[in-house]
Amino acid sequence: MKVGFYPGCSLEGSSKEYSKSLFAVAKICGITLREIEDWSCCGATAAHNLNHDLAIALPARTIALAEKQGFEQIVIPCAACYGRLAAAQQAILGDESILARTQKNIDMELTGKVQLLTIFEFLQQYIFPVADKHIVNKLNQKTACYYGCLLARPKDLTKLEHPENPMEMEKAMEKAGASPIDWAFKTECCGAGFSMSRTDLVAKLSGKILEDAADRGAESIVVACPMCHSNLDLRRPEIKKQLKKDINIPVLFITQALGLSMGIPACDLGLDKHFVPTEKAVSCIVKKEA
Amino acid sequence: MAKIGVFICHCGENISATIDVAKVAEEASKMPGVAYAMDYKYMCSDPGQTKIIEAIKEHQLTGIVVGACSPRMHEATFRKAAEKAGINPFLCEIANLREHISWVHPRTEATTQKAIDIVRTIVNKVKKDTPLYPIKVPVTKTALVIGGGIAGIQAALDIANAGHKVILVEKSPSIGGHMSQLSETFPTLDCSQCILTPRMVEVAQHPNITLHTFAEVESVSGFVGNFDVKVRLKARSVDMSKCTGCGACWQKCPNKKIPDEFNAGLSFRTAIYSPFPQAVPNKPVIDRANCTWFQKQKCGLCKKTCPAGAIDYDMQDEIIDLKIGAIVTATGFDIKHADFFPEYGYGEFKDVIDGLQFERLASASGPTGGEIRRPSDGTVPEKIVFLACSGSRDKAKGIEYCSKICCMYTAKHAMLYKHKHHHGDAYVFYMDIRSAGKNYDEFVRRAIEEDDVHYIRGRVSRIYEKNGKLIVKGVDTLMNSESVEIEADMVVLATAAVANPDAESVAQKMHISYDKHHFFAEAHPKLRPVETNTAGIMLAGACQTAKDIPDSVSQASAAASKIIGLFSTDEMTREPIVAVVNRCMPPLFTTCTGCLLCMEVCPYHAIEREEIKDRRTGEVLKVAAKVNAGLCQGCGTCVAFCRNKSIDLQGFSNQQMLSEVMALLNKPF
Amino acid sequence: MSEFEPKIVAFVCNWCTYAGADLAGTSRTQYAPNVRIVRFPCTGRIDFMLLMKAFENGADGIIVSGCHPNDCHYTSGNFHARRRWIVFRSLLDFIGFDTDRITFSWVSAAEGKKWAGLVDEVTDKIKAKGPFTDLDKLDCTKLKEMYDEAIAK
């Protein structure tokens, strides 16, 4: 099955391990991911702050490329990229004049009818049906599944079953033999794009998240968004300073966690790219009983 | 041969200042069918009316037109004068020369010409007028009150005290409604049961009131003054005539795990139960759905225990037929219980409760004997956070309206808590404070100033549990939108007041309208708040919209007064502006083809299907429409729909309207 | 040269628009004198063939006005009137009638000013259009063809 893949800037750069682990898991499960050729930036927060048409045109260009290259479905692991493409799709499918204007702006043919998959939809549709065959390990640890904001909002675009208390990652972690904990900060803000301009706020907000997870006994945190990962992992020194506590819980991408359960070696999942060491999490893993 | 009289009023100078009234009278006298015309300074005055009466008698007029102020002012006056003079009052019509002409146009020829045109129009309408007679409908002087809460109780007492029979139907085992669940009422902090129970007893003992509890209305048919109502008396499984209310049965009942509705789910009750100690009637019922005997044919302890032999497992539902003259719908409301705010943990965290549950905690007859205790561990909370507007005024949650009572009961709850635990901390997160009634604002200020309740203006975004406490995350908009985080022991949500889950089906049974929130619709939001569009059916209490006890009682008395007025005669008279389906000689009988399109569009369900039968053989010869003059309100929608003009509106008939239009354009008709 | 003064007939409901016109009167709001009101209990009562009769007999413009949706004194009469108007208007369009000569409006009992404004607006509009003489120019041939076809089936 050929599924289109849109990495966006984050999966190319700061969260390259997300992309690496996704491909590793997909390969084991027999899924081929094809990157969309000549894709460009989704516009992120900058575009929709400046100009409405630009905010739709940028993601629409990628959708148009996907159509042109014959994809019926594309998976967009980055939460922000998914949000932007889904919002653009909603706009062009909901209003003919917007579709017409956008087509003119990007100077390409566009129907807007490619199916956009969130990472959870991709896992649900392609990985879970065959996962049991490939899962050889039990992660054997308590994990806190962290969704952050854009994976859960806006409700009608992200399509989670319970937006205020999502369980999609928990289901995946149970499959992987981990024990997801019940905790209070699943969808609370980590500080998002203020990582550079107001690192103090990120330290405070992400600190609260880490603290709650630690208080409830989590041994690792699982995320599905590059921003979440960055704030909880890269900014750990600032968080520790803010909390005046030494919390060393590693942060894994969901695809890395699944990959570990499927017996893929840690270096093939990009675990070496993390700032917070992941050895503790890896050492918990045991072989699954037959 | 028409002999119309035209009377043009000067109305002092109001009409004559801009209209040449003498000219209008002169032109009128020349119009075909006009036998007499005059003008006078004050037509509505005594001498003016006398002139009209004399002219009618002298010239033997067959109809009159008064050119004066708006018919909304004096149509009734001049119709009475016509009646005095001996002609049918509906042969008198008014030409609106003041509001529609003299007051809105300058003194020009065009203005006078307009007056002449309008007079001519009305003259032509009168030519086609037929005498109309008020319609009489018989009245059964028994009222039905549906719902035994405070509104239903008040309405029943008022009607019964006026000397009429009342049947009060209540679906739960006892009357009392939500008011019986309250601990104290605002703004007086009266003990709710203390002021309610005397009324409940009065209802039970009143010679004019028949009380049916554990009963529901099955169907309503008929029309005002003549309703046929079927009521289902649900099987109590207890013989009321033998039961003494001793309580031995529910003490012995082994099934003690049923969530208690009266205590808002905070405690359990038995399968055979009386809802609360002051219940009226204080005789139990068996909840068959949860009773071991009825579900598994085991047990039967209550029957063995009962010293009076009152338990009857074989009892069946009984349907009774009632003849009713008017109905008061007082079915009340509910509060939203569902998992409405997943971010607040309602339903997930035991110590996040709703307003009704707090009432039961505060109530001396409640599950904790009146002590405010956490449902989770029974300890006394040191800090309670109250959230106002939980769901109301929130388009995203589907409830745009304000539930009206919550600001007041939240203040009350906070005060009750502080009165019981002086050292405790109470916080209220609010958007606005709506305390508009008598002594209401003073009550809220008392909570803030005397009882030291902390009011924070802002909403709460999330509540979560940590280490046995509830962390409430909100914002204080009056402090620069600072975040506020409170570690509370208990949270009380003032959830939205909503219609009962069965409100839609009740409204449909009664043929009354309801809005998208299933609150019942009043006839006019400003001027007819206690009637519905269905003649004879009144509304009282929170079933119409959320309201507090004083307003419910007022509305109930108002509804009662409407019914007492209805019952003040043996026969009701109605204005004869009603639709009529034409009838003519056999074999045609009527031009109506029985398509019954009129029946579908009538807003009052006033049109029936009639079978025209052969008088001797009973054979159905034709199916046609028939208008129930008692229900018809005279809108004429049916007339416009009728494909072959077989139905017409008296007072605004097709002939009349056409002649008006033709006369307006000065064309013969 | 006398200026053309259009004849405008207004079909109004008793409870809202008629009362609104009364209010315009009590407020002494002045407006054009070309309108003549015919009172109905409800706009739902208005048979639209009456409108055609009016045009046939010299009316140049027509106003139909009643209670705002949801406020009908008889609950739903104005809804029926509105739906009837929508169907009737497309029929008139079909046969080439200038539907602009008919103005459908909602004026409540509190909107005296609105009534006055409406009358002035319609009077100006019809004045600009000139007298109505097109009755014989209406093209019913296509309509007749459709009718004949339907009957033949």
User: In this structure, is residue A254 part of a structural domain?
Assistant: yes
**Cis preceding-peptide flag for B134 (omega within 30 of 0):** no
Compute the average pLDDT of residues B273-285.
Answer: 94
| Domains of chain C, CATH where assigned | 8-152 (3.40.50)
- Enclosing H/E stretch for B96: strand B92-96
Burial of B220 (0-12, 13-18, 19+ CB in 10 A): buried
How far is C-alpha B590 from the chain's CA centre? 38
Q: Which two tokens stand for residue B223?
A: 């029309």
Write down the residue that tokens 């997909």 correspond to.
A26
List the CATH number of the domain containing A176: 3.40.50.11810
User: In this structure, is residue A123 part of a structural domain?
Assistant: no
pLDDT digits (tens, 9 = 90+) for B622-663: 999 999 887 888 899 999 999 999 999 999 999 999 999 999
Quickly state the pLDDT bin for B666 (edges 50, 70, 90): confident
User: In this structure, is residue A125 part of a structural domain?
Assistant: no
- Kindly list the strands in the beta sheet with B460-466, ordered across the sheet, starting from the edge strand earlier in the chain: B460-466, B469-476, B482-488
pLDDT digits (tens, 9 = 90+) for B1-27: 789 999 999 999 999 999 999 999 999
Residues of C in contact with B513 (CB under 8 A): 75
Compute the average pLDDT of residues B401-420.
Answer: 96
Return the pLDDT at B586.
Answer: 86
Residues A150 and A111 in one domain: no
Distance from CA of C152 to the nearest CA of B (A): 22
Return the pLDDT at B513.
Answer: 80
Examine the fold and report which residue of A84, A117, A150 is the final residue of a domain before the chain moves on. A117
What whole-number distance in Å separates Cα of residue A106 and Cα of residue A102? 6
Which of B485, B455, B444, B490 lies closest to B470 in space, CA to CA?
B490
Return the pLDDT at C146.
Answer: 86
Residues A168 and A65 in one domain: no
User: In this structure, is residue A129 part of a structural domain?
Assistant: no
User: In this structure, is residue A164 part of a structural domain?
Assistant: yes
- Amino acid letter, residue B477: T
pLDDT digits (tens, 9 = 90+) for A200-237: 999 999 999 999 999 999 999 999 999 999 999 999 99
Helix (H, G, I), strand (E, B) or coil at B146: strand
Residues A31 and A168 in one domain: no
Return the pLDDT at B187.
Answer: 95
Quickly state the pLDDT bin for A1 (edges 50, 70, 90): low
Is the confidence at residue C1, as pLDDT, over 60? no
Say yes or no: B248 contacts chain C, CB-CB below 8 A: no
DSSP β-ladder status, B184-185 and B190-191: antiparallel
Helix axis angle for C17-26 and C112-129, nearest 10°, is: 100
Residues A197 and A79 in one domain: no
Compute the average pLDDT of residues B442-447.
Answer: 97
List the CATH number of the domain containing A33: 1.20.1050.140
Residues of B in contact with C39 (CB under 8 A): 71
Helix (H, G, I), strand (E, B) or coil at B435: coil
Give the number of beta-carbon pairs within 8 Å between A and B.
13
Say yes or no: C69 contacts chain B, CB-CB below 8 A: no
What whole-number distance in Å separates Cα of residue B302 and Cα of residue B243? 12
Examine the fold and report which residue of A117, A143, A160 is the final residue of a domain before the chain moves on. A117
pLDDT digits (tens, 9 = 90+) for A39-56: 999 998 899 999 999 999
ipTM of predicted assembly, 2 dp: 0.89
Return the pLDDT at B206.
Answer: 97
Residues A257 and A138 in one domain: yes
Is the confidence at residue A253, as pLDDT, over 50? yes
What whole-number distance in Å separates Cα of residue B329 and Cα of residue B210? 16
In the stretch 42-61 of chain C, residues with CB closer than 8 A to chain B read 42, 44-47, 50, 53-54, 57-59
Return the pLDDT at B256.
Answer: 92
Residues A111 and A150 in one domain: no
Q: How many domains does chain A have?
A: 2
Residues A238 and A111 in one domain: no
Return the pLDDT at B340.
Answer: 76
Choose among A164, A185, A212: nearest Cβ to B343. Answer: A164
Residues A105 and A140 in one domain: no
Closest-CA residue of chain B to A185: B464
Residues A22 and A74 in one domain: yes
Helix (H, G, I), strand (E, B) or coil at C56: helix
Partnered with residue B491 across adjacent β-strands are B352, B385
Q: What is the pTM of this model?
A: 0.78
pLDDT digits (tens, 9 = 90+) for B539-582: 999 999 999 999 999 999 999 999 999 999 888 877 799 999 99
- The percent of residues in chain B predicted with pLDDT above 90, rounded, is 85
Inter-chain contact B664–C44, Cβ cutoff 8 Å?
A: no
pLDDT digits (tens, 9 = 90+) for A259-283: 999 999 999 999 999 999 999 899 9
Examine the fold and report which residue of A90, A117, A144 is the final residue of a domain before the chain moves on. A117
User: In this structure, is residue A126 part of a structural domain?
Assistant: no
What whole-number distance in Å separates Cα of residue B531 and Cα of residue B523? 5
User: In this structure, is residue A152 part of a structural domain?
Assistant: yes
Choose among C28, C38, C77: nearest Cβ to B637. Answer: C77
Question: Which of the residue ranges A188-192, B70-74, B116-120, B436-440 would you say has the lowest mean pLDDT?
Answer: B70-74
Residues of B in contact with A167 (CB under 8 A): none
Residues A162 and A269 in one domain: yes
Residues A153 and A242 in one domain: yes
Write down the residue that tokens 């050929």 correspond to.
A2
Inter-chain contact B640–C84, Cβ cutoff 8 Å?
A: yes
Average pLDDT, chain B: 93
Say yes or no: C74 contacts chain B, CB-CB below 8 A: yes
What whole-number distance in Å separates Cα of residue A110 and Cα of residue B243? 78
Choose among A165, A184, A185: nearest Cβ to B342. Answer: A165
Residues A94 and A211 in one domain: no
Residues of B in contact with A215 (CB under 8 A): 466
Residues of C in contact with B95 (CB under 8 A): none
Q: Which two tokens stand for residue B660?
A: 């008006």
Is the confidence at residue B401, as pLDDT, over 60? yes
3-state per-residue secondary structure call for B52-94: HHHHHHHHCCCEEEEEECCHHHHHHHHHHHHHHCCCCHHHEEE
Choose among A162, A184, A188: nearest Cβ to B342. Answer: A162
Compute the average pLDDT of residues A63-91.
Answer: 95
Return the pLDDT at B290.
Answer: 94
Please provide the DSSP assignment of B373-387 as one string.
Answer: --TTT-PPPSEEEEE
Return the pLDDT at B668.
Answer: 65
Determine the structural domain holding residue A54 and report its residue range. Answer: 2-117
Helix (H, G, I), strand (E, B) or coil at B286: strand
